[in-house]
Chain A
Amino acid sequence: MLLLLLGIIVLHVSVLVLLFVSTIVSQWLVVSGHASDLWQNCSILTSVGSFQCQPSSTNEWLQAVQATMILSIIFSVLSLFLFFCQLFTLTKGGRFYITGIFQILAGLCVMSAAAIYTVCLAMNCIVNQP
């Protein structure tokens, strides 16, 4: 029983860490020479050999992807918090409904973010300046 609990907590925390890393790190689109993500475009200036970063365009679709990624982080944090709340207040035979619902919402948000980004890259609605 304790093992199950520990496993769930580890999974929760790792999901949260992954979400944070994927939202912040500049690796959404990596082409040789430059990497861009939700917040900035970075490119290596071969002459200087160092990274040069610019903030990315204020596109509506890019903003939608940023918004859904932030929402998924919020939902995941809330789910972890509610998991601990319910652990100590749930009656015998009760189910972790709220925790599950928030985690499902977080998953849906991440899925929609990835879907929007992929489709928009293919259809050129997110313009990534190199």
Chain B
Amino acid sequence: IAPRLLKEKCSLLHKVLALDLEDVVLSPTLAIHVYTDREVHGTVGSKVTLSCTFWSSEWISDDISVTWHFQPEASRDSISIFHYAKGQPYIDDVGAFKERMEWIGDPRWKDGSIVINHLDYTDNGTFTCDVKNPPDIVGKSSQVTLYVFEKVPTRYGMVLGAIIGGVLGLVILVLVLAYLIRYCWLRRQATLQRRLR
């Protein structure tokens, strides 16, 4: 009787496991996920890296395409500024980002990042990264907002904390050194006196 019960339990377990596996395969995250930063800060004249990484449930094929759109601040038009398809990057060479953009991504490593040099105030706006990896094409693209400043604003309290910390540290250091020197000198005096006796 015992082996029969065991066999029944085994087959039941087998059915349950098979069901679970099927569930995992039949309802996966059949979408492509794109990740970018939320906000990026840059200073006028410097360069900024707009990073875009993605996750796809399919193998990265040669048909993969990466597109970057730009929507200037206070405008409703979204301009296409970069396209990567069939292993070839196509950079904007007639528009606002002419000769300022560089492709530093590698789709095989799930990276679709670009670099923008010589920032200007007109670059303030929203950049959208869109990745399509056939047959995995359903998914949300991701947006990153670029803020261009004259100089990077330092947080309040940096100067305050730096001055207080620096001066206190210096004073403590000087005191410790003074005490060490005095201690060594006194010990030297004591050994000299002991030798004289």
Q: How far is the CA of A64 from the CA of B158 in the complex (A)?
A: 10
Q: How many residues of chain B have a CB within 8 Å of chain A?
A: 12
Q: How far is the CA of A64 from the CA of B171 in the complex (A)?
A: 18
How many whole Å from B68's CB to the nearest CB in chain A? 35
How many whole Å from A113's CB to the nearest CB in chain B? 11
Query: Which residues of chain B are near A64, meaning CB under 8 Å?
Result: 159-160, 163
Query: Which residues of chain B are near A67, meaning CB under 8 Å?
Result: 159-161, 163-164
How many whole Å from A89's CB to the nearest CB in chain B? 14
* CB closest chain-A residue, reference B166: A67
Q: Are A68 and B163 in contact (CB under 8 A)?
A: yes
Q: Are A71 and B168 in contact (CB under 8 A)?
A: yes
A14 in the interface, Cβ–Cβ < 8 Å? no
* CB closest chain-A residue, reference B165: A67
Task: Choose from A60, A70, A71, A74 the contact partner of B159 (Cβ within 8 Å).
Answer: A60
- Flag A54-72 by CB within 8 Å of B: 1 or 0 each: 0000101001101110110
How many whole Å from A129's CB to the nearest CB in chain B? 15
Interface residues of A, Cβ cutoff 8 Å to B: 58, 60, 63-64, 66-68, 70-71, 74, 105, 109
How many whole Å from A73's CB to the nearest CB in chain B? 11
How many whole Å from B82's CB to the nearest CB in chain A? 38
Closest 9 CB pairs of A and B: A67-B163, A63-B159, A58-B156, A63-B160, A67-B160, A60-B159, A67-B164, A71-B167, A66-B160
Task: Choose from B154, B156, B157, B164 the contact partner of A71 (Cβ within 8 Å).
Answer: B164
Query: Which residues of chain B are near A70, meaning CB under 8 Å?
Result: 160, 164
Query: Which residues of chain B are near A60, meaning CB under 8 Å?
Result: 154, 159
- In this complex, the member of B160, B161, B164 whose beta carbon has the largest number of chain A beta carbons within 10 angstroms is B160
